[in-house]
Structures are given as structure tokens and as C-alpha cells.
Structure 1
Amino acid sequence: MAWQCSGETNTELITNLYNNNLITEPRIRDAMLNVDRAHYAPTSPYTDSPQPIGHAATISAPHMHASAASALLPFLYPGARVLDIGSGSGYLTAVFAELVCADGKGKVVGLEHIEALRELGEGNIRKGERGKAYLEGGGVEFVRGDGRRGWKGKGGGDGEGWDGIHVGAAAVELHEELIEQLKAPGRIFIPVEDSRGDQYIWIVDKDKEGKVTKKRSMGVRYVPLTDAPV
């Protein structure tokens, strides 16, 4: 189904995904309509497929971005705080900003362990007027750090935590530091590779009392969440 959803323009791509139920929520459709994929994908931006962006990283297919945003949507309310680990091209960071920063109160942090990718994401989001406004207004920030440890701010911790955490690379475990940084309530979307080399999405929820539940979802194939190259 997904390969049938490519288009000639961003509007056509997103409309095709929505009409084929690969985007199921109008809020996600509208957010993706506001983020031109041509600013983030180096070639064939309106094709529903992943593409390399350098440094052994990829920009995921649009339907996978829609799936991740849909999984986190209950926690992507205006004013929410979102951590996008392995932000890469910056595309999904920008989509999250559309969902939480429109009233000027939300916060999205794109976290990368490679400086060149951090710069790539920040440069890409500046290509659109809306993204540039989020960045310059402080609603969006791109930082460098070890995604396996989450992000507590440059000063060592702001104490606020995250309503939603998206991990865009495959981990080898459900990292406890990410769970600790999750608000109550809050949710993590994270691909995890098992001992056989198979990868699955895990949805980790923390309820308002702080109880944590973990649920395995669909099988996927992501690049690994690793150390920065030396």
C-alpha cells in the first residue's frame, strides 16, 4: 500500500497517505501538510520510502513518521514537551513542533550524537518560514548528546521531563534513563533490537501515578542507536 502513496508535491503525498489510511488522524495530516518534505529529504522527497542522509543515517518513509506521531498523539497536545532522539534530517522534529508549539508554549528538542546531523536538522528546519519561527522563538532546539541518556538540558537538568519521547534509531534495551525522564503521564516510542537481531517498536507508558507499562508493537528496521564515531 505505502508505495502507492507517493506524489508529485507534498500536498499530494500527504493526501494520498491520508486517503489510504496510512495517516489516520486529521491533526497529523495537517501537521505534515505544514512541513514540506523537500526541505528534509535529499532526493525524491515526495516518495513514500526511506532515504539516506549521510553518516549512516536515514530519513524514514513518511508513513513511518505518521505511525510514530500517531502512537504519541495523546501526549502531543499544545504546550507539551517532546524529545526527538536521533532527529536526523529534522523532519519529524518539525512535525512535532506543528503539534505542540503552535500556541507558543510547547517545546521540542531534536537530539543527535553527530554534530553534522545536528547541524543538518537545524539547517533544514530553517528552510521553511514556520520551522524557522519555531526555532527562533525557542519552541524547537537541536542539541548534541547521547540519546541513550536522554536530555536534561545543557545545565545538567531542568527538572521538567518529557510528555513524549520519540527514538528514531534502534536501541538494544529500553533505557531506564529515558523512562526516568518521562513525565507522569507520558509515553515513549522506541524501536528495540532483540538478541536475534529482530527489531520491534515498544510503547512505554507512565501513568499519572508513575506506574510504567511496556508493550511490544510492530516489527521494523531502523539504523542502530550507537556511540558517536571517534
Structure 2
Amino acid sequence: MSWSIVTDTNEDLVNQLQDCHAVENEIVAKAMKETDRKFYCKLKNPYVDQPDSIGEDAIISAPHMHAYALENLVEVIKPFSKILDVGCGSGYLTSCFARIIETKAQEKNVPPSGRVYGIDNSAELVKLSIENIKKDEPHFFTEGRIKIVQGDGRKGLMECAPFDVIYCGAASKEIPTELIRQLNIGGRLLCPVGEKGNVQKMEQYDRLNYKDVARKVLTNVMFVSLTD
């Protein structure tokens, strides 16, 4: 679902998403208000609820889809969480994740020791996401909160696993077994599954223990496909 939201400021964009109940968690609202979409989107007016091409056959999702992802993941993010953003693209959600870690740390009055890893197969998009995040909040790099790498997101980032949260910004053609394998106990993976052009489902995977993973189909979506 999308809404006819067109406004002049990032704060009002998020306020309207709250009015539509696309954003309900105050921590999500805070992260999205602090992550100004103008740093990540090439649209003349970035404060509109629609996706946009960022080059390399990739897009930045519409704000309501970013909200949907964050609303489904915020409950499992902790001050110490290790997060993997697969197909990080513009770097927008990568920044949101880092801000949520900081907010969770402030709530607990502890240092934010978590880290967000962004991975993309395109060298150009890796460069773009780094540039965007530095314009928005350079301390994410200077303080080691975020690391962006080039690689095949379908394979995850085994050298940094296990992860407490994994989000895929592009669709896996089948159940993302390798990413599930890299989930920590208590961790959650959110991933669109299905072929481009066919029905795709946003699926949630929660690791219950070393053996068991709970799978939940959430909603129909449309995403570009994960590629090597």
C-alpha cells in the first residue's frame, strides 16, 4: 500500500506516515526524522511517498516501505546488535539502523556498541551509500558504527556473522538459506522472496535456537532481484 504524500520537509513526511499508521513506533519515527531523505534520494522533491532510481538498476524504496521494514525489526534491535543491510543501495536504511541502535543505547544509558554492515554488489552503489551517509552523519564512520562493503549479498557476510538483524532490500528468488544460517539466536531476517515480475512475498524468519527457525509470510511486495 502507498499513500499520496507530497510535502516540503522530511519531518512532515514522517508525520504524515504516522497519521497513516505506517509509522507507529516512536523510535522508528525518530530514526526516520533524523535520517533526512534529501541525502539519499535523487528526486527533485525527496519528500514524496514513492520509490526512485539510484542507478545500477537499483532503487531507493518508497518511505512507507522503509517504515514497514523498520516497524518489523525495531523490537529485536538492541544497543549491542549486529545488523546486516543486504543491498544497502543508497544507504538510507543503514543509517536508520545505526540511529535506532543509538536510541536504544540512550534508553538503557549504555554506550552504543552495535554495528551496521551494509553490503551491495555494485561498487558504484557502495561508493554512493558511503557518500550519502557521510553527508548525513559522518560520525557513523568515524566512530565505527557503520561499515559498507562490496559483495554478493545473497551469501551474506559470513566473516562478521552471526547477525541479530538482517534486512534484504532486494528479492531472493528462493528461501534465503545462507542468510538464515547467519542469524544469531533471537535474531530476525526480513526478506522479499520471489521472482521479479511474479508475486513476491515479504517473509520474516526468526531464529529460535540453533536448530529451529520460524517463518512468517507478511505481505505481497515488488522488489528488484538480488544479483551477484
Query: Could you tell me the TM-score, scaled by structure 1's length?
Result: 0.91
Q: Residue 217 of structure 1: CA displacement?
A: 1.4
Q: Which amino acid aligns with 1:63?
A: H
Three-state SS of the structure 2 residue aligned to 1:184 is strand
8 Å Cα contact 1:2/1:22 also seen in 2:
no
Change (3 A) 1:189 1:206: same
1:11-160 matches, within 5 Å, as 11-43=11-43, 44-101=45-102, 103-128=111-136, 131-152=137-158, 157-158=159-160, 160=161
C-alpha separation between the residues in 2 aligned to 1:5 and 1:27?
Answer: 21
For the residue of structure 1 that corresponds to 2:13, the secondary structure is helix
Describe the shift of the 1:225–1:209 C-alpha distance in structure 2 as closer, same or farther (beyond 3 A).
Answer: closer
Q: Residues 9 and 193 of structure 1: is their aligned pair in 2 closer, same or farther, counting only changes over 3 Å?
A: same
Amino acid of the structure 1 residue aligned with 2:28: I
Letter in 2 for 1:8: D
Distance, in Å, in 2 between the alignment partners of 1:53 and 1:209 is 38
1:90–1:124 Cα contact (<8 Å) kept: yes
Distance 1:93 1:64 in 2: 14
What count of residue pairs does the alignment treat as equivalent?
A: 220
Distance 1:196 1:8 in 2: 33
| Change over 3 Å in CA distance of 1:195–1:90 after alignment to 2 | closer
CA distance in 2, matches of 1:22, 1:196: 25
User: 1:163 corresponds to which residue?
Assistant: 164
Show the counterpart of 1:6. Answer: 6
- Which letter does structure 2 place at the counterpart of 1:76? I
Distance 1:195 1:224 in 2: 6
Q: Helix, strand or coil for the counterpart of 1:42?
A: coil
Q: Deviations over 1:32-69 (max 9, x none)?
A: 01100000001121001000000100000001001001
What SS class does the counterpart of residue 187 from structure 1 fall into?
Answer: strand
RMSD (Å), alpha carbons: 1.6
Q: What's the TM-score, normalizing by structure 2?
A: 0.92
SS at match of 1:204: strand
Question: What residue number does 1:183 align with?
Answer: 184
Conserved? CA contact 1:5–1:20, under 8 Å: no
List alignment gaps of at least 5 residues for structure 2: 104-110
> Per the alignment, in what secondary structure is the counterpart of residue 92 of structure 1?
helix
Asked if 1 retains the 8 angstrom alpha-carbon contact of 2:204 and 2:216, the reply is yes
Q: Secondary structure at the match of 2:226?
A: coil
Structure 1: unaligned runs, 5 residues or longer: none
Quote the residue 1:211 is aligned against. Answer: 212
Distance 1:18 1:7 in 2: 14
Distance in 1 between the 2:224 and 2:197 partners? 16
In 1, the alpha carbon distance for the partners of 2:79 and 2:12 equals 26
- Whichever residue aligns with residue 178 of structure 2, its letter is E
Letter in 1 for 2:5: C
Q: Higher mean Cα deviation, 209-218 or 84-93?
A: 209-218
User: Partners in 1 of 2:51 and 2:4 — Cα distance?
Assistant: 14
Which deviates more from structure 2 when the two are superposed, residues 189-198 or residues 82-91? 189-198
